[in-house]
Amino acid sequence: MKSIQVMVVDDSAVVRQVLSSVLNAASGIEVCCAVADPLLAIERLKISWPDVIVLDVEMPRMDGITFLKKIMSERPTPVVICSTLTEKGAKTTMEALAAGAVSIITKPKLGLKQFIVDTSDDLVSAVKAASKANVRRLAVRAEAPVAVPQAKNSADVILSAASPKAMVQTTERVVAIGTSTGGTQALEEVLTALPRVCPGIVIVQHMPEKFTAAFAARLDSICQIRVKEAQNNDRVVPGQALIAPGGKHMVLKRSGAQYFVEVLDGPLVNRHRPSVDVLFRSVAKSAGANALGLIMTGMGDDGAAGMLEMKNAGARTVAQDEETCVVYGMPKEAVKRGAVDKILPIGVLHREIIQHGN
């Protein structure tokens, strides 16, 4: 089986060396070249083209965003962004994701070498996920890296399963969305199509800590609905979407006829924090038939078990179809488990949300 060919573009010699070492040590991956800036990368691309590009966004001579846009317009290629854990870095990374990047790998300003070695599983998983990306979808629109720890917890470590009895319906409706690789572009497409009046929405997008606030702010600036990073005890109200903060789980709670969210710490679930399974289980418990669940593009199986719990509790459940997914992993697993009522292309998912509120 042919190895995934990777190009590393970063102005730090240390980063290039460490990233190359980690990737070359992984099964099925080979770094074909590592260069200091996009102009050198462009010269190498004239000789051979990689399967995946790992790209820094802040570089001399040409910045990563300009290079990314050039790549996506000329020959769409899966790109993993390697960004610093800073507010400025988060904002720039949002631009990169909007321009067609598949996912994010973070790096600190200090202790870089050890940090990258410690998080090598994240890097390898992100590159492997990117290699499977539907680049046609990326090009049309132009996440989150996939964390892989040693253990794979279920939602049991955060909250118990819903009882078989579905929640009694009220007039308050809620929409729960789960997504990962390719999800930043997918969420933009769905949320920007919504009118100002629609059911309250809760979202888990696999994304590193510090990046979800910038992502929510960007969506808020281009959507008719309000979009914000969730804070503890935020109410779920019509015309607003709450995005789980990176590094925290988010659960739906109910008080009378009203819904609100709790943001909490806890172990990784299904290899993620926030976890879609945790959110979906809480929706099954607190909303039942009042809920609509959407599972969208992403690698892995996070959300499949939770969506089945939602369906069993009386919720309507929808999966994004393979044709319009960047990575058809999470929806595929949900379909496989019998958790999905409908499979639909991304272009009509906003209609399901609107209809749920009527």
Which of 55, 64, 65 is CA-nearest to residue 33?
55
Among residues 37, 56, 122, 302, which one is catalytic?
Answer: 302
333 CB-side CA count, 13 A? 19
Residue 109 CA to residue 303 CA, distance in Å, equals 33
Residue 158 CA to residue 268 CA, distance in Å, equals 9
Tell me phi and psi for residue 258, to 5 degrees. Answer: -105, 150
Among residues 122, 206, 272, 282, which one is catalytic?
Answer: 206
- 275 among known catalytic residues: no
Among residues 125, 180, 275, 286, which one is catalytic?
Answer: 180
341, 315 Cβ separation under 8 angstroms: no
CB-CB neighbours of 193 under 10 Å: 17
Tell me phi and psi for residue 139, to 5 degrees. Answer: -70, -35
Determine how β-strand 316-320 pairs with β-strand 249-255: unpaired
Length of the chain: 358
Instruction: Please give the order of strands across the beta sheet that includes 258-264.
Output: 235-236, 258-264, 249-255
- 220 among known catalytic residues: no
Tell me phi and psi for residue 255, to 5 degrees. Answer: -130, 105
- 356 among known catalytic residues: no
Which of 255, 296, 253 is CA-nearest to residue 276?
296
- Residue in this structure with the two tokens 């919504």, named with its chain if needed: 194
Q: Mind telling me the catalytic residues?
A: 180, 206, 302
